[in-house]
Amino acid sequence: MRTILCTLALLLGFSAPVRAIDIERVEPANWWVGMQHNRVELLVHGNGIATSTPRLSHHGVAIVDVQKTDNPNYLFVTVEIAADATPGNFDIAFVDAGKIVATHPWRLDAREPGSAQRRGFDAHDAIYLITPDRFANGDPSNDSVPGMREAANRASPNGRHGGDIAGIRKHLDYIAGMGFTQLWPTPFLENDQPEYSYHGYAITDLYKTDPRMGSNEDVRALSREAKSKGVGIVMDIVLNHIGSQHWWMRDLPAKDWINHGGRFAPTNHRRTTVQDPHAAPADREAFTDGWFVDAMPDLNQRNPHLARYLIQNTLWWIEYAGLSGIREDTFGYADADFLSAWAKAVLTEYPNFAMVGEEWSINPMVVAHWQRGKQNASGHVPHMPSMMDFPIHIALRTALVQPEGWDTGWVNLYEMLANDFVYPDPDALVVFAENHDTARLFAHLDGDLAAWKLGMAYLATVRGTPQFYYGSEVLLRGPKERNDGQLRADMPGGWAGDTANAFTGNGLSAAQRDAQAYTRALFDWRKRTPLLHTGKLTHFAPQDGVYVYFRHEGGRSVMVALNKNAKPTSLALDRFDAFLRGRTARDALSAKPVGMGRALELPAMSATLLEIE
């Protein structure tokens, strides 16, 4: 270190340092030539660093701004990168009273060809959601890592079980073979919390993969390998909060970095307060500024340095890991103006990129508020291309368990879908029957396999992009009431010695094999059927326990008839003449011809899927 400092001092015309400063972090540690975001604000952390002045000498790179906060251990240094800047390594020197007190390496990289034009996921895709710690253990040597607060304990539903990136890479062929084209893992990033660290949402380092999962390079390798198999990676981003053991909490960059002065104050979860013209300001503030739990400090994105840090962190991961999409956690809980700026910055850099936000509300108006193109009375201008369709999620689960009646059963789903007029782009929404925060659909249905198949058929054929939760294809069940550790159960076969193996089929019951085969056939058919990607959806009001809709385009259509009756049902076809008259039909999954007379016989509790030509 001394030699480096003295050499750099000579090059820059300064004498040797008197008081050296240890720089603990410079984030981000690198950037790329040719980015739209070419003014990068570096967070520099080191004891007393604020008294120094940064200097650098590299072709095409210049320091254009330096700012301080109320914490003398931070500097925020903005570098501007010219279009003709030279990729490579160089040092940033920090000078105090004419003497170099510290240096730190930084790097410029060349971009991957076509990076800015990358295509994100859309309705052509189907997303497979996994909890990495519970999917597959490919490298048992990293189950427990010295120095990390929580060791592996597979016996505990709430402990770390050892799933990792190596395990995911081992089973990419399985994921692709099931018909899925996108993989959404819950966060990989470091969660060095004392407990409940397996889920990934209490991040303690936003630039570092948790070593119990692997390394940053492992994430990049996963993305490249997945892409070669036709599968994109959707990264789970958390903008609202961090983990209580995040390194910031030991030395906050500014007093207003964390909401409520860094002290726990719970959110009220009142999502409507963001749009409600009558909402008390105190209630609105309690929603956005409150903490989820005391282990998740709530970030104040109104601090401009934090806002830039979070935006740059997202751009960095997209570029570094070659992502095809982002799922953004707890979307509406963050500052609304920041959310707009964040999404706009991402789409400015990657115009064809895909992002979906989580707004857990049954109210379509609340969800639609955040989608790009929505004209909001509040004046908020959103830029998110997609949102998770929680209203359809809840309506589907309700419809499958309610008895059929004038205003119960399928009509819940029919009328919820009719609310699509409130969305700027309903076809861009992500639809799902379950996820890592809900009881699994199979448990919700008390183990009714026929009803479960109805739900999966709807998921694969309705408008939007479907998201499927790992393990459901082999009927992982868990509790009926939400219990996170149990609903995020281990994938059978992901661990050496498992008696059942979802990946090979060994040890599965007949029902599990049936469900897996149905899922594979359903999503493989969806992948190769353009009508299910871009076809218009026309649905007919449910009658007598049957819900019928068509996906259609250019004279061709797919007919979906969902029969919830416990007995076979004869479906009169005269209502559907506009789609069926004079045309032939074949079963979508078996390709066998189906006679289309005056009525169609529907098996009990079944989804009939027909290709009409």
Cα–Cα distance between 439 and 488 in angstroms, integer? 9
Both tokens of residue 300? 């104040």
Query: What Cα–Cα distance (Å) separates residue 248 from each residue in 71, 255, 601?
Result: 12, 11, 64
Query: What Cα–Cα distance (Å) separates residue 512 from each residue in 130, 142, 228, 486, 527?
Result: 18, 31, 29, 19, 22
Cα–Cα distance between 493 and 505 in angstroms, integer? 9
User: Which one of the listed residues 125, 139, 349, 358 is annotated catalytic?
Assistant: 358
Q: What is the DSSP letter of 403?
A: P
Taking phi over 0 as left and psi of -120 to 50 as alpha, with beta for the rest, 541 belongs to beta
In 184-213, which positions are buried (b, 16+ CB within 10 angstroms) versus exposed (e)?
Answer: bbbbbbbbbbeebbbbbbbbbbbbbbbbbb
Whether 298 sits among the annotated catalytic residues: the reply is: no
H, E, C per residue of 76-124: EEEEEECCCCCCEEEEEEEEECCEEEEEEEEEEEECCCCHHHCCCCCCC
Both tokens of residue 304? 């401009």
Task: Say whether 402 sits in a helix, a strand or coil.
Answer: coil
Residues 6+ apart with CB under 8 A from 432: 129, 388, 389, 393, 459, 466, 467, 468, 469
Which amino acid, one-letter code, is at 119? R
Q: Give the other-Cβ count within 10 Å of 541's Cβ.
A: 12
HSE-up of residue 356 (Cα within 13 Å, Cβ side): 30
10 Å CB burial of residue 425 (0-12, 13-18, 19+) is middle
Task: Say whether 579 sits in a helix, a strand or coil.
Answer: helix
Q: What is the DSSP letter of 138?
A: S
Whether 329 sits among the annotated catalytic residues: the reply is: yes
H, E, C per residue of 141-175: HHCCCCCCCCCECCCCCCCECCCCHHHHHHCHHHH
Residues 6+ apart with CB under 8 A from 197: 149, 150, 160, 191, 243
Q: What is the DSSP letter of 16?
A: P
Both tokens of residue 436? 């890592």
User: Which one of the listed residues 96, 150, 329, 473 is annotated catalytic?
Assistant: 329
- Residue pair 445/472 in contact (Cβ under 8 Å)? The answer is no
Say if residue 253 is preceded by a cis peptide, omega within 30 of 0.
Answer: no
- The sign of the torsion formed by the CA atoms of 81, 86, 88, 92 equals negative
10 Å CB burial of residue 555 (0-12, 13-18, 19+) is exposed
**Nearest partner of 319 among 351, 363, 352, 349, judged by Cα:** 349
Biggest alpha carbon–alpha carbon distance for the chain:
95
**Nearest partner of 178 among 440, 450, 456, judged by Cα:** 456
Q: Active-site residues: which are they?
A: 329, 358
